[in-house]
């Protein structure tokens, strides 16, 4: 009886083990056949997540993606973030509007026609890879071959940031006429050579261009020729010592300019010439920027937001920096935080017309001019909650909010004229008399010294004349000694 029970128990254990092994194998097969996760928000939005899967190649598309081909406006996001893919091979056909990310892989090669079958690819992220300029060729972005020619693809956004690109192929954007956003940041470009300039100039529908952290110091004048739709450009973290003159070419379209962390020393009336449509300007973290000179912002007739902050050496802004803008004032937000400013002119700008004003992180001298700006002109009402600046000087006001400045020690802010009082002898003070006597004495002494010098020069001159013998002239006809 016991033997039968043991045999029965052993058989059950074997069955259980077999079942577990079968389940394990099935799960393993399922994982291998479906290495990515699929999530669907609705019929029009599907995400294929292949991130952090240690993938070294691009897998086949799951069946679920092919089932959305009847939905014309479907959006499909595919991400291969943080894998070990080194070669982007030709992708299988995909329906819908496609966004693909290969960010943070080890890509060194992209096959031609890699995206040709993904006809509605609108977003492509190739950032943080090992891509060099010679890998990027026009044929990798060309569409399917029909009617004896290669067609275009619908690519709108291309992110090439954080790679090893020195130069771009001049035909790189030949098949991407819809490209509107291009990110080249964090590449060792250093010089915008002739072929790179041709490549950029061919992307005529560009609206956003990121050239930050590319080590460039100049931009050739014709680089932006033809880019009539360019609205936003980032030139931060480069080697510019002046704002590039070439920006004026896109002055009728450029709305947003970021110019942070460059070795620029000053801003002047040549800095922003022609940028009449600029809406927002950011000039921050420029450690060498020392002053903003007169008429600097005058060309910016549409400016609404100014970030002039985090410039640790900026100590002076000319009272005429905004001259010419005051009659048609457009600025609504001005941020002057974290500079080296201590004073501002009362007529620098119409303070009451601002909506937001930032002034924290400076060493403010709380004098009568600052009291005028904050109280009489209403600048104190423009600070954000919790961002009220402090006084650094004088000592008795150090640490006080500048909005607490009283005007008791300042002249009355009054535009009326007071009548002039006639002069009286009693108004003179002893120090006035002493200074007057001293001044007269100095003038007389200087006059005497000059007179002595003139007299000495005359005496010397007369002595020289006496020592000089006059020339005698004789008549040879009358002088008998020559007979």
pLDDT surpasses 70 at 188: yes
Helix (H) / strand (E) element for 27: namely helix 2-33
pLDDT surpasses 50 at 47: yes
Structure-model confidence comparison of residues 4 and 373, the more confident one: 373
Query: In angstroms, rounded to a whole number, what is the distance separating the alpha carbons of residues 46 and 146?
Result: 29
pLDDT surpasses 70 at 419: no
Taking only the tens place, the pLDDT of each residue in 294-334 is: 999 999 999 999 999 999 999 999 999 999 888 899 999 99
Label the pairing between strands 157-159 and 145-146: unpaired
Once rounded to an integer, what is the mean pLDDT over residues 172-195? 97
Confidence of residue 258 (pLDDT cuts 50, 70, 90): very high
Query: In angstroms, rounded to a whole number, what is the distance separating the alpha carbons of residues 25 and 29?
Result: 6
Closest C-alpha among 221, 212, 268, 282 to residue 240: 212
pTM beyond 0.85, yes or no = no
Strand arrangement of the beta sheet that strand 266-267 belongs to: 266-267, 291-292, 316-317
- pLDDT at 39 (0 to 100): 87
Taking only the tens place, the pLDDT of each residue in 138-154 is: 999 998 888 888 999 99
Closest C-alpha among 299, 286, 176 to residue 242: 286
Residue listed under structure tokens 């595919």 = 78
Query: In angstroms, rounded to a whole number, what is the distance separating the alpha carbons of residues 47 and 477?
Result: 130
pLDDT surpasses 80 at 80: yes
Provide the mean pLDDT of the chain: 85
- pLDDT at 105 (0 to 100): 97
Label the pairing between strands 181-183 and 208-210: parallel
Structure-model confidence comparison of residues 459 and 43, the more confident one: 459
In order of their start, the domains of the chain are: 35-184 (3.80.10.10)
pLDDT surpasses 90 at 118: no
* Helix, strand, coil percent content, the chain, rounded in steps of 5: 25, 15, 60
Cis amide leading into 341 (omega within 30): no
Most confident of 151-155, 288-292, 447-451, 463-467: 288-292
With a CB cutoff of 8 Å and minimum separation 6, the contacts of 244 are: 218, 219, 235
- pLDDT at 241 (0 to 100): 97
Confidence of residue 27 (pLDDT cuts 50, 70, 90): very low
- pLDDT at 287 (0 to 100): 96
Cross-strand pairs, 335: 307, 358
Which percentage of the chain shows pLDDT scores above 70? Answer: 81
Confidence of residue 100 (pLDDT cuts 50, 70, 90): very high
């Amino acid at each position: 009886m016991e033997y039968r029970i043991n045999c029965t128990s052993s058989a059950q254990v074997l069955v259980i083990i077999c079942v577990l092994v079968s389940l394990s194998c099935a799960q393993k097969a399922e994982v291998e056949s479906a290495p990515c996760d699929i999530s669907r928000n609705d019929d029009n939005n599907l995400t294929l997540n292949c991130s952090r899967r240690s993938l070294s190649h691009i897998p086949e598309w799951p069946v679920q993606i092919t089932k959305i081909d009847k939905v014309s406006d479907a959006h499909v996001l595919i991400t291969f973030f943080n894998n070990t893919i080194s070669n982007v091979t030709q992708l299988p056909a995909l329906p819908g509007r496609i966004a693909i990310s290969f960010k943070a892989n080890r890509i060194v090669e992209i096959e031609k026609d890699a995206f040709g079958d993904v006809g509605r690819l609108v977003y492509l992220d190739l950032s943080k890879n090992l891509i060099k300029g010679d890998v990027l060729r026009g044929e990798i972005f060309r569409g399917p071959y029909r009617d004896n020619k290669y067609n275009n693809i619908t690519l709108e956004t291309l992110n090439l940031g954080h790679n090893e690109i020195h130069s771009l192929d001049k035909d790189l954007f030949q098949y991407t006429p819809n490209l509107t956003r291009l990110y080249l940041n964090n590449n060792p470009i250093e010089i915008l050579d002739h072929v790179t300039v041709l490549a950029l100039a061919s992307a005529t529908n560009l609206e956003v261009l990121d050239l930050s952290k590319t080590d460039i110091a100049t931009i050739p004048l014709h680089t932006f020729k033809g880019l009539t739709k360019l609205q936003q450009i980032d030139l931060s973290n480069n080697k510019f010592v002046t704002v590039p003159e070439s920006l004026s070419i896109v002055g009728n379209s450029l709305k947003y300019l970021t110019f942070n962390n460059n070795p620029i020393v000053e801003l002047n009336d040549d800095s922003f010439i022609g940028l009449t449509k600029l809406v927002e300007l950011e000039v921050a973290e420029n450690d060498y920027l020392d002053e903003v000179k007169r008429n600097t912002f005058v060309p910016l007739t549409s400016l609404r937001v100014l970030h002039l902050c985090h410039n640790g050496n900026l100590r002076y802004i000319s009272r005429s920096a905004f001259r010419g803008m005051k009659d048609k004032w457009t600025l609504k937000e001005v941020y002057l935080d974290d500079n080296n400013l201590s004073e501002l002119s009362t007529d620098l700008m119409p303070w009451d017309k601002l909506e937001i004003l930032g002034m924290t992180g400076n060493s403010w001298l709380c004098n009568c001019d600052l009291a005028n700006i904050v109280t009489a002109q209403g600048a104190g009402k423009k600070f954000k909650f919790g961002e009220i600046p402090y006084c650094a000087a004088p000592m008795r006001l150090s640490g006080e909010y500048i909005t607490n400045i009283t005007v008791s020690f300042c002249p009355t802010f009054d535009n009326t004229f007071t009548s002039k009082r006639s002069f009286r002898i009693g108004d003179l003070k002893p120090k006035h008399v002493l200074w007057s006597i001293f001044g007269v004495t100095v003038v007389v002494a200087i006059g005497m010294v000059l007179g002595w010098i003139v007299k000495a020069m005359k005496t010397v001159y007369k002595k020289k004349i006496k020592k000089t013998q006059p020339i005698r002239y004789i008549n040879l006809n009358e002088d008998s000694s020559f007979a």
